[in-house]
A and B are shown apart, each in its own frame.
Chain A
């Protein structure tokens, strides 16, 4: 173009420049440095102004594609983890809730189940937690999908959707998965994790373990770490029955109390007796019978909700 005739173009050069007929270098000659930068910014602003005005249909199409695709691909891997509230330094690294440490204050969610209560919690991205009786689950809603951490006290069965690392934090150790099914049981002196599907990593103060399906890891304070293969496909408590494998009686008692909202006086019996068996959630008498008859322990209801144990 006639860039030499800038004198003739003095009232049109900006239009020519914007249309691309004049180069940026040409503009630089025609205006001051400050004006030059201003016009560059204005041009970018105008381009953006136009772009922000264009239709958002393309994005909508992509959104629809994604939704259709994910409907077809939904995979739920659930690893039941049994973590008793024991401070077992469970070998399996179970990444359980980290929620407490990331709570920013407003978006913390705490769910607490009552005696005999089981609750299913659906998390923001679709993962599920089934919380057993007298258990507490805490997590931070804010930023959940990128930071899937929760705190667990008690017992929970986790069905984790594929996504960012899912971590369950307990007093006994952490459980970490990428989309699996596991059960975590963590009470004061017991920590048990069972992997039902997928891969679970459990870390405690002492060790790290990686669990594959059916791997179970448990540590009861004062005892060696135990590892075995479960034959279940999901934890029994979900289906109304609590199962124990060589567990000191005191923990079975705690479970009975949590399930039925009773207190059990056990000072006159040996609470370290090892129990293998289960009890039903549906009937207290049946449950008491199952547990204590096998151990030859007498039980009597001194007053409503208070059971007294003695030896025969």
Chain B
């Protein structure tokens, strides 16, 4: 039984590997591509390659295999995708004056942002997550929490102030 669990060519194992690593790989790819759609494309290609080579990849090393394939696929995309290069070049030139068309989200920034959101004061965090993750409007949140819309807005506003303070000028 455990042999089956370790065999990536088994569909169930492949699926569980996917569930375990897909988000991580997608995030990893986002930092490189700065483009969610491209990240998803490469994510798909990466797992397709894993499937194609399922017999040759050891279960224990699947994580590093996925990262390697993802990186290589990304690098190849770079070679053929001059548009990405243009963006990166324009980014270097406009460091202090971010062009309205493109804002780069560095890994450090995103890590700090996530950490800051995670450590928001309880009341602010609650409103923030309800609005951003659960996509609830301020009015709905007000009803749900039994407070005024203005109170919801105040908490959200504060959350953003806190985030701004903590992240500074990254």
Contact = CB atoms under 8 A, between A and B. Distances in A.
User: Chain A CB within 10 Å — which of B52, B105, B153 has the most?
Assistant: B153
Contacts of A146: 76
Contact of A66 (B26, B44, B98, B168): B44
B62 interface: no
Given A42-B113, A45-B109, A59 B157 contact: no
Main secondary structure of the interface of A (DSSP, over half): helix
B145 interface: no
Q: How large is the interface on B (under 10, 10 to 19, 20 to 34, 35 or more residues)?
A: 35 or more
Interface stretch (A10-18, A170-178, A204-212, A271-279): A10-18
A143 interface: yes
B133 A53 contact: yes
Interface stretch (A33-41, A79-87, A247-255): A33-41
A34 B132 contact: no
A34 B98 CA distance: 11
Contact of B113 (A39, A46, A62): A46
**Interface class of chain B by DSSP:** helix
A15 B154 contact: yes
A11 B161 CA distance: 10
Contact of B105 (A44, A59, A66): A44
A48 B133 contact: no
Nearest to A52: B27
A37 B98 contact: yes
A15 B162 CA distance: 13
Interface in B109-130: 109-110, 113-114, 117
Interface of B: 15, 18-19, 22-23, 26-27, 30, 36, 40, 43-44, 47-49, 51-53, 56, 72, 75-76, 98, 103, 105, 109-110, 113-114, 117, 131-133, 137-138, 150, 152-158, 160-161, 163-164, 167-170
What are the 7 closest A-B residue pairs judged by CB atoms, nearest first? A15-B156, A12-B153, A56-B22, A15-B153, A14-B160, A14-B157, A15-B157
Interface of A: 11-16, 18-19, 34-35, 37-42, 44-46, 48-53, 56, 58-60, 62-63, 66-67, 124-126, 142-143, 145-146
9 contacts: A11-B157, A38-B167, A38-B169, A42-B164, A46-B113, A52-B30, A60-B47, A124-B56, A145-B49
